[in-house]
Amino acid sequence: MNALLTESYDALAAVVSRLREEDAWVPTGCTGWSVRDLLWHLHADAVRGLVAAHTPAGRAADCDAVEYWRSWGSDPDADERNRRLTRVEAGLHELDALRERYVEAAAAAARAMAAVPAGDVVATQGHALRADDLASTLAVEATLHHADLVAHLDAPGPPAAGLAEVRRVVEALLGRTLDGWSTERVVMVGTGRAEPTTVERDALAGLDVPVFS
């Protein structure tokens, strides 16, 4: 999983490194967030990974790379406050500063995670989980936000390995595989980034979608 995380962070950092000030207010796949807002969020997530890598849980794991996502959306008011705060905080910085902070933090987080044995249990966001499961969650978030970031930019999307991991998690949360679906459709529809077609909607009958976003 650490190799996957490094690949996901490196691919995203390569896109971020090429951003210029004129890209700052381009919309992203995250409703209400521009490029600069998403960069601030990405930086915070990389810092969270860096902190978690150095925070032993001191207890048994209480979730894994799939179960971690089941609590998504459990506090809509807190999520909305975080979205608003992100916009405010991102607006205080030039894009150059946001870009450099993310690239630096992402590289540090990837190195730190690579140094943690896969079976060690670390703490983050009130959870205790194995380091390899944490690496998966970080790679999943980086992959999805990579897709969000380039939604309206002429830039490469996330790597296939990251998309495959998102698909694995989405299908595990759904409790079934989406046979015949492309990985991109599983990822985009399963996380609410694309509306299902009529045929896809029929295939999802009885399932709660999105599983997270």
Q: Give the residue-averaged pLDDT of 36-64.
A: 97
Counting residues of the chain whose pLDDT is more than 70, the rounded percentage is 99
Q: Is the pLDDT of residue 74 over 70?
A: no
pTM of the model: 0.95
Tell me which of 25-29, 91-95, 135-139, 144-148 is least confident.
91-95
What are the strands, taking DSSP E only, across the chain?
A: 121-124, 127-130
Quote the DSSP letter at residue 34. B
CA distance 53 to 110: 9
